[in-house]
Structure 1
Amino acid sequence: MTPPLRLSVLDQSVARAGRPHDESIRHTVSLAERCEELGYQRFWLSEHHALPTLVGTAPEVLMAAIAARTRRIRIGSAGVMLPHYSPFKVAEQFRVLDALAPGRIDLGVGRAPGGDQRTARLLNPDAQSAASFPQQVLELKAWVSGEDLPVGHPGHGVRALPTGATAPQLWMLGSSGYGAQLAGHYGMPYAFAHFITDGEGCEQALALYRSTFRPGLLARPQATVCLAVLAAPTQEEAWHLFKSRERARIDRRSGRFGPLLPPEEAAREYDSAEQIEAEMLRGRAIVGSSEQVRDRLLVLAAKWQLDELVLVTWAWDPAAQRRSYELLAQAFELA
């Protein structure tokens, strides 16, 4: 018998036009509480810097707030942009989180800057830091799991504290074959950021991850895909709400960043090139009634041989975003 599909959530603390940024942060925390009630498996948080659209800059801080308000759901980063930081410090932070929520912490890491290059240099002046990403992951893996680093390494004999009966689960988040191959090489779980690439490269990355996998943190491959979805009581309402994300995606590709607009304001006229792009975006979008979205997700999960999917939902109205997760939890009978 095929096991039921597990669903998780990735929230990016989206900025909303006409609403203060701090409201977005508080909404993320309350959304996590609601997703636990609904039966979602994980609640992940992203890291972005100096982007007017996304105000989730410190996932580890938000994770602590969510840990204090939840009891069952796994909490994670998707992901910490590791080239900005010391792997040892990241390990310490996430070990503290694991002490607050034992056995519920996911430490997802990525190589991307999470913002522009100027901001990346403010976070870490070393412009070549991303080149050290594989070594950083190896060090982080050791400090998180309690292994020792080799003799001769500056960190040999150093432990990341606090220790406990459990440890954070290290994940690799990626949107290309690079992260997939690295996750396979280290035997790590892997999450593909489908919502960033609109699906481009997803199947190839999953195949590369599975073909290069060798036992490490895991004995067998464990993969998931993070997908942008939006459900509403009717298909018509869902497509109306989608106008906010559609406008944001098209504006971003032309270098225009700003808070998420209400659907009524987002639906302004496109030029010819934007119109073509909008039609392509709609053709790929997973939008509709809860039954329509559920059926699409089941097909994709079977196609990619996955038993878990991570959902990313943008809506200008926080109540509409929450309702989308409620409808899908009901459609999949999560609770």
Structure 2
Amino acid sequence: MPALTLSVLDQSVGRVGRPQDESIRLTVDLARHCEALGYHRFWLSEHHNIAAIVGTAPEVLMAAIAARTERIRIGSAGVMLPHYAPFKVAEQFRVLDALAPGRIDLGVGRAPGGDGRTARLLRPHGGSVDFPRQVQELHAWVSGSGMPPGHPAHGVQAFPQAPTAPQLWMLGSSDYGAQLAAHLGLPYAFAHFITDGEGCAEALDLYRAAFRPGVLQEPSATACVWALAADTEEEAWFQFRSRERARIDRLSGPLGPLLPPEVAQRDYHSGEQIHVQRLRRQALVGTAEQVGERLQALADALGLQELVVITWSWDAAVQRRSYELLAQAVGLTAPGLHAA
């Protein structure tokens, strides 16, 4: 077994000069590729009205990936639960579990996944949302236990029923998700790539200290981190330009589609330079050996046995190569499977 388990988070990145529908098909191809490389999970995000991230329906993509893979766990990271009825989400994920028995992760979050106007379109009836109650109801339905006597939905079941069930995960980038995951005894994933690591160690410590048995008997956590490896350090930093430009542009406007690295670099003003230098210091970018060592060091520092890696690149081949190099660096293997 490798010292570190690696998984994948993919967002179907939009790319300047490339059709958006291509990004969806590339995500499916990447899932098959990463299964062959020995990655443990393949997670998909949910975002809306963001040209840089065109993966809007993780449950649909999960079905396509389930039909084309055999071993790798498939999950949402996550379903933005306040937009939806927990019962319907449970039905969708029980269908997914029927397609890939015992391989489905149901990660949920409370963020809108887009701007406020788009969020109102997703939830046209408005009203306040009791997120902890939503999560508890979702777990009851997705696990097959159903609602207790006295609940208005007592006796209602989410079909299809099966011997296996999706694994519910709590996602977050703040203390809130950590506290709720600990209270309900759920596995927890921190979005390290959103905060550039800020608050990650504190949230994980809070989760472990406050954890009480529930869905799980012991705490189980991971972190989703951004990383990019290439055959040379120079090439890795060149490809990183696309990610850097997107992050800096986001400070002053909407997140647009990813630029190719050869045109992504621009002159940053003094205020932006502070963010650029901080981003470069913290970036997990370099050769396979360099990034692999930093991933292991990060996992050790956070007390984690698994990290979920997200990689943006304008060229899909660069992304695939990065995952190949990282798999080699930490010794991932997938017996019996072959790269696509």
Q: Per the shorter chain, which TM-score range? A: over 0.9
Q: Deviations over 1:103-160 (max 9, x none)?
A: 000000000000001000000024444x411110010010011113222222111110
What residue ranges of structure 2 are gaps of 5+ in the alignment?
334-340
SS for the counterpart of 2:300 is: helix
Shift of 1:274: 1.2
2:160 counterpart residue number: 162
Contact preservation (8 Å) 2:87, 2:141:
yes
Amino acid of the structure 2 residue aligned with 1:181? Q
Contact preservation (8 Å) 2:242, 2:313:
yes
1:23 counterpart residue number: 22
1:14 counterpart residue number: 13
Shift of 1:256: 3.3
Counterparts of 1:1-335 in structure 2, within 5 Å, are 4-129=3-128, 131-335=129-333
The alignment yields a C-alpha RMSD, in angstroms, of 1.1
TM-score, scaled relative to structure 1:
0.98
Contact preservation (8 Å) 1:233, 1:290:
yes
Contact preservation (8 Å) 1:231, 1:290:
yes
Shift of 1:17: 0.4
Query: 1-side partners of 2:139 and 2:102: how far apart?
Result: 16
Amino acid of the structure 1 residue aligned with 2:89? V
Query: 2-side partners of 1:260 and 1:244: how far apart?
Result: 6
Give the length in aligned residue pairs. 333
Query: 2-side partners of 1:64 and 1:218: how far apart?
Result: 26
SS for the counterpart of 2:114 is: coil
Contact preservation (8 Å) 1:3, 1:307:
no
TM-score, scaled relative to structure 2:
0.96
Query: 1-side partners of 2:94 and 2:318: how far apart?
Result: 35
Structure with larger RCO (C-alpha < 8 A, sep 6+): 2
Query: 1-side partners of 2:221 and 2:125: how far apart?
Result: 32
Shift of 1:3: 6.6
Query: 2-side partners of 1:26 and 1:148: how far apart?
Result: 36
What residue ranges of structure 1 are gaps of 5+ in the alignment?
none
Query: 2-side partners of 1:149 and 1:195: how far apart?
Result: 36
Shift of 1:71: 0.2
Query: 1-side partners of 2:117 and 2:230: how far apart?
Result: 39
Query: 2-side partners of 1:126 and 1:185: how far apart?
Result: 29
Query: 1-side partners of 2:2 and 2:277: how far apart?
Result: 35
